[in-house]
Amino acid sequence: MDLSLVIQTITISAVPVLFAITLHEAAHGYAAHHFGDNTALAMGRVTLNPIKHIDIVGTILIPLMLYLIKSPFIFGYAKPVPVNFGRLRNPKRDMIWVALAGPTANLFQAWIWGALLYILNGVGINEFFFIEMCQAGIKWNLLLAVFNLFPLPPLDGGRILVGLLPWRYADPISRLEPWGFFIVMALAIIGVINDLWLNPLMYLSLQLINLLLTPLALLVG
């Protein structure tokens, strides 16, 4: 493996990934605070300081290892922002908004990176490093948003599903949370998440981002 290529890839992705995980987790904390739960605020997690959200193993070591072994599925995680759903003013309803906040922050960042890419091209800046960083920003944010929307707790999509369903259906799904991580990993290993969830939804999300960027593309084109 070309060490210089590995270092270049890590350098290009470092800033987008740090922003992606930081704003994702901070968005959960801000939303929880808005809807009545101050747990994350009291623990200093409602912050844009990336150090507060980085997990050495989940954010750095696991993704790096998967990249080095050329895994088709790159996975990582940050320290989850603590949310006491019982403190929310309307727990079942507000749970949906708190869970949506993280992926929404990533979709917004993907749009920002896309806009920056169009602006750089529009003003004639074709520096490889900056172009690749913008493309990495789009990719990593879409990946984080779509992956977290998978409808199984403890992922955001699972919490959204629990909030939307009547309690008689939501309760058995919520009880899967202690094993949800292992179920998701198993589905990822056998290719279900990539083939049936990540790839099609990332494609659709990218089309949506491109559609939203159409006015800017026409302006700077």
Tens digit of each residue's pLDDT (9 = 90 or more) over 14-28: 899 999 999 999 999
Q: What is the pLDDT of residue 176?
A: 94
Domain that holds residue 16: 3-220
At 30-74, the pLDDT tens digits run 999 999 999 999 999 989 898 899 888 778 777 777 777 776 666
Pick the catalytic residue from 25, 127, 132, 177: 25
Number of domains in the chain: 1
Query: Residue range 119-128: average pLDDT?
Result: 90
Contact between residue 47 and residue 90 where contact means Cβ atoms under 8 Å apart:
no
Q: Is 127 a catalytic residue?
A: no
Measure the CA–CA gap between 119 and 142, rounded to whole angstroms: 20
Structure tokens at 66: 């998967």
Rounded to two decimals, the pTM is 0.92
Q: What is the pLDDT of residue 43?
A: 92
Query: Looking at the predicted structure, is the pLDDT value of residue 214 above 80?
Result: yes
Query: Other C-beta atoms within 10 Å of 184: how many?
Result: 20
Of 98, 79, 81, which is closest to residue 90 (Cα–Cα)?
98
Q: What is the pLDDT of residue 73?
A: 66
